[in-house]
Structure 1
Amino acid sequence: MMGQSHAVSGALVFAATAPFLPEALFGVAPRPSEVLIGTLLCAGASLLPDLDHHDATPAHLLGPLSRGLCRLVSWLCGGHRHATHSLAFVALAGWGTRLGVTRLGHPFALTLTFVLLALAARALHLHPPGHGLTAWVTAVGLAGVGTATVAAWFPGITLWLPYAVCLGALTHLLGDCLTRRGVPLLWPYRKRFELVLIRRTGSRLETRFLVPVMTVATFVALWFAAFAPLFALG
């Protein structure tokens, strides 16, 4: 799947599960504002498994630096759709995030928040077209504003961030299972799991049907999870 598809699916899954699963995990339901920021963070986290691809959304985040990092990850993991496309990576991403926010606190949480929001801005095309300086500045600027907002108004971000990272990474894997080649969910066991519904990345089925449908579904889920409670309180 393309980066936009992964980001939209990550946003949809978070918005749809926020009123239920987080409360079961943490004993408290997220505030409407937390649902909104969590939806964007999960959209960004859904791009993390593609750290193994030299031309995916993460590779364009910091120019040559991020492309070099993605090439290194690809080499270490055996290429695209190997180690980073497994349940082991999902667990590692969640554990690493939990360890980071526990040991390093808000500086780590805000740094990761900035990265995830920048990834979401690029994948969701919340910037001028292309990969030029204007697009990069816009994505980074939006991520900066979002991170400043989180720093000022979301002191509990350390509680929700590992959940958003895990859910986003897992959603990416499930999305790629719908395409040819599938993913090695049980890596290092090499068997690939697939249920091919999308035969070609970027096909009309994906770009003209799935993405619009998931986008509408995300806004519907956000309405029930975030906006409807606000009107009820009013």
Structure 2
Amino acid sequence: MMGHSHAVSGGLLFAAASSHLPVELVGPGFGPADLLMGTVLCAGAALLPDLDHHDSTLAHFLGPVSGVLCRVLGRVSGGHRHATHSLLFAALAGAGTWAGIAHLGRGFVLGLTFCLLALALRALHLHPPGNGPATWALPTGLAALGAAGLDSWLPNARYWLPCAVTLGVLAHLLGDFLTRRGVPLFWPYGRRYEIPLIKRTGNGVETKFLAPLMTIATFVLLWCTVFPGTLPIS
């Protein structure tokens, strides 16, 4: 799947799952603002498994620095769609987020929030087209504002942020599970699992059907959760 589709799938999964998660995972005061922010952050987290790809959205996130980092991680993890495309990576991503919050506190939450927001905005194309200064300035500025807003008005984020990261990674795995190459879910066991509904990344099934459908479903779920009972069902 392409980065845009992965981001949309991450937002969809968080919107669908959040109302069914126990209070221990989302915190006692999980509300509409947490739901909306968590949906966007989960969209950003859905790009994390592509840390192993030299030409992913993540690789271009910080220019040459992130490009080199992704190349190194790709080699260390065994190449694209190996270690970072496994259930083990999903568990480590969630556990690492929890540990960062527990031991590093506010600074870690702000830094991670900023990065995930900026990634989501880039992947969802919520910026001017091209590669000029405005293309980078707008997502960066909005991500900074979003991180500041979370810090000021969403104190429960420390509870649900590890869950958002884990769900984002799982959404990515599910997306690539629908493609021909599949994913090694139980890495380091090398068998790949797949249901190849998408024959080629970026084809019409993905861009003209799945991505729009997931986008609509995400907005419907958010609306029904924030404003229950407002959509008539015939």
- Note whether the superposition's TM-score is higher than 0.5: yes
Kindly state the Cα deviation for residue 145 of structure 1 after the two structures are TM-superposed.
1.1
- Give, as a single letter, the amino acid of the residue that structure 2 aligns with 1:75: R
Gaps of 5+ in 2: none
Structure 2 length as normaliser, TM-score?
Answer: 0.94
8 Å contact kept, 1:42–1:164: yes
- Give, as a single letter, the amino acid of the residue that structure 2 aligns with 1:108: F
Match of 1:58 in 2: 58
1:8-157 equivalence runs, <5 A: 8-23=8-23, 25-26=25-26, 28=28, 30-157=30-157
Rounded to whole Å, the distance in 2 between the matches of 1:66 and 1:227 is 40
Kindly state the Cα deviation for residue 27 of structure 1 after the two structures are TM-superposed.
6.6
1:201 is the counterpart of 2:201:
yes
Tell me the SS of whatever aligns to 1:116. helix
8 Å contact kept, 2:45–2:164: yes
Rounded to whole Å, the distance in 2 between the matches of 1:11 and 1:115 is 16
- Give, as a single letter, the amino acid of the residue that structure 2 aligns with 1:85: H
Kindly state the Cα deviation for residue 20 of structure 1 after the two structures are TM-superposed.
1.2
8 Å contact kept, 2:182–2:195: yes
Cα RMSD (Å): 1.6
Rounded to whole Å, the distance in 1 between the matches of 2:220 and 2:148 is 27
**1:37-87 CA-partner distances (Å, limit 9, x unpaired):** 000000000000001111111111111111111111101111110000001
- Give, as a single letter, the amino acid of the residue that structure 1 aligns with 2:12: L
Gaps of 5+ in 1: none
- Give, as a single letter, the amino acid of the residue that structure 2 aligns with 1:4: H
- Give, as a single letter, the amino acid of the residue that structure 1 aligns with 2:7: A
Rounded to whole Å, the distance in 2 between the matches of 1:116 and 1:69 is 17
Rounded to whole Å, the distance in 2 between the matches of 1:121 and 1:164 is 16
Rounded to whole Å, the distance in 2 between the matches of 1:16 and 1:26 is 14
8 Å contact kept, 1:18–1:30: no
Tell me the SS of whatever aligns to 1:192. coil
8 Å contact kept, 2:179–2:194: yes
Tell me the SS of whatever aligns to 1:183. coil
8 Å contact kept, 2:25–2:160: no
Q: How many pairs were matched up?
A: 230
Report sequence identity in percent. Answer: 60
Rounded to whole Å, the distance in 2 between the matches of 1:74 and 1:121 is 24
Structure 1 length as normaliser, TM-score?
Answer: 0.94
